[in-house]
Amino acid sequence: MPVAQNIKVAVDAVVFGYTSKEGLSVLLIKRNIEPFKNSWALPGGLVADHESLEEAIQRELREETGVNITYLEQLYSFGQPGRDPRNRVISITYYGLVKPDAFVVEAATDASDVAWFNIKKLPALAFDHTTIISVARERLKSKMLYQPVGFELLEEKFPFSELEKLYLAVLDRPIDRRNFKKKITKYGFLEETTEKQALEGAGRPGNLFRFNEEKYYQLQKEGISFEI
Amino acid sequence: MPVAQNIKVAVDAVVFGYTSKEGLSVLLIKRNIEPFKNSWALPGGLVADHESLEEAIQRELREETGVNITYLEQLYSFGQPGRDPRNRVISITYYGLVKPDAFVVEAATDASDVAWFNIKKLPALAFDHTTIISVARERLKSKMLYQPVGFELLEEKFPFSELEKLYLAVLDRPIDRRNFKKKITKYGFLEETTEKQALEGAGRPGNLFRFNEEKYYQLQKEGISFEI
């Protein structure tokens, strides 16, 4: 066992948001200190001695972005030597999901800027943050294939097309649109309301949908799996 | 951002092994230093400044157990303040799988003892290692429900009953034994060989099975999922 150790511990978060206008997007901050000063980066920072990892990432998100996170889960720990030019820093990363109202971001105190970027139009990022976003994106994609996803990302009521667009954006591949509704409704976590969609263009307005919370969380807990 | 930080980083591993005689088991070491001297604990230790997290856990497993690991994956990072009585230590944990020949353990250099314990007969453990084992066990269980599991745990060829017993031991609940063979073989990752099982008792010897590596890894990559 090594006698001395010169390693620091940070937490960083990949926060995903979605609206049909903005698409699948990631919340980034502009760094106001070296290294990578003025570069875009994931919100995060060093863990304080007295706080848990979850408290640390919640504090950093509050201080740097002011955004209200509806879902937060540990992603992976990145510890390659050299990933920070100053010192060895291990980053314990989280991924979060937010509702559309989080797209209105206020000026943050601990960063020079904060903004949403579409997942396909990310700027050059500090450290290994591009890699961390790729890992988070894969996690979200695979989560969507064995658990219901959407309750943490969409408005309370939404047109069915909104859920379909969310699946398209996250999976990033064509889906069988003709059968999507049948396939996704058979799991029972979606409910059709009697409220109509407010349509901007022409066409017949469809009913709005919402999630059945009980079935949603039950299926999220159990997942889709081998029948054994 | 905190100016100073007094946190150390460790890696620990939950290594699972299985034989029908021993059942689902975990590899533990007896600590030869304080705190928790002479307590059983997970193999692991502090990360050296120059090594990656994966190199650190492989080194600790080599030094403390001498066991050859066939599969190793990052599990979760545990960072609650107070989990180590000396100093704040964050543990980045891994879980590993080994073949039955790993059940023959040699004397280790960096621990006073090393031994396998059945998952249902674990001793009192140092630190929060009982919690870490629970999390690893849940991960293995859910992995088994959406991916094929067994190639990393069983001998190259095995009687079908051995796979069934492995599923029973990991899932820790009754399974529908009448339909298990039909359900599990339909995924195509199992192959029946023409070799017969060497039977100790009476009864007709069945053919041995092996994994179809190509299909196994394809299904492990894709997983079982929503059809979208």
Residue of A nearest to B45 (CA): A1
Contact: A5, B45; criterion CB under 8 Å? no
Q: What's the CA gap between B135 and B147, in Å, rounded?
A: 18
The answer on pLDDT for B192 being more than 60 is yes
Instruction: Tell me if B79 and A48 make a contact (CB, 8 A cut-off).
Output: no
- For residue A74 the two structure tokens come to 């540990």
Q: What is the pLDDT of residues B20-42, one digit of tens each?
A: 999 999 999 999 889 999 999 99
Choice between A3 and B176, residue whose per-residue pLDDT is larger: B176
Rounded CA-CA distance B148/B211 in Å is: 10
pLDDT of residue A228 exceeding 60: no
C-alpha span between A192 and A195 (Å, rounded): 9
B interface with A, Cβ–Cβ below 8 Å: 1-2, 5-9, 45-53, 74, 76-77, 79-81, 88, 90, 92, 110, 142, 144-146, 167, 171, 175-176, 180, 183-184, 187, 223-228
**Omega prior to B2 cis, within 30 of 0:** no
Give me the residues paired with residue B97 across strands: B16, B71
- Residue A92 is nearest to which of B77, B144, B225, comparing CB atoms? B77
Q: What is the pLDDT of residue B1?
A: 47
Share of chain A above pLDDT 90, in %: 66
The more confidently predicted of residues B52 and A224 is B52
For B94-129, the pLDDT digits (tens) are 999 999 988 887 666 677 899 999 999 999 999 999
Q: What is the pLDDT of residues A85-96, one digit of tens each?
A: 989 999 999 999
Partner-chain residue, chosen from B7, B74, B144, that has the shortest CB–CB distance to A77:
B74
Instruction: Report pLDDT digits (tens) over A167-198.
Output: 999 999 888 888 888 888 888 899 999 998 87
Asked if A224 lies within 8 A of B225 by C-beta distance, the reply is yes
- What pLDDT shows up at residue B175? 87
Q: CA-to-CA distance for B48 and A80, rounded, in angstroms?
A: 12
Tell me which residue of A53, A50, A16, A29 sits closest to A126, measured CA to CA: A29
Tokens representing B135 are 């999390």
**In a 10 Å sphere around its CB, with 0-12 CB exposed, 13-18 middle and 19+ buried, how is residue A208 labelled?**
buried
CB contact under 8 A, B49 and A5: yes
A7·B5 Cβ contact <8 A: no
Chain B hits for A81, Cβ within 8 Å: 49-52
Pairwise CA distance, residues B10 & A7, whole Å: 11
Q: What is the pLDDT of residue B187?
A: 85
Q: Is residue B74 a contact partner of residue B57, using CB atoms and an 8 Å limit? A: no
Name every residue whose Cβ is closer than 8 Å to that of residue A134 and which is 6 or more positions away in sequence.
Answer: none
What pLDDT is attached to residue A184? 86
Number of CB pairs, chain A paired with chain B, less than 8 A apart: 129
Cis-peptide into A35, omega within 30 deg: yes
Q: A141-155, B40-54, B77-91, B198-212 — which is least confidently predicted?
A: B198-212
A181: phi then psi, degrees, rounded to nearest 5: -60, -45
Q: Give the pLDDT score at A145.
A: 80
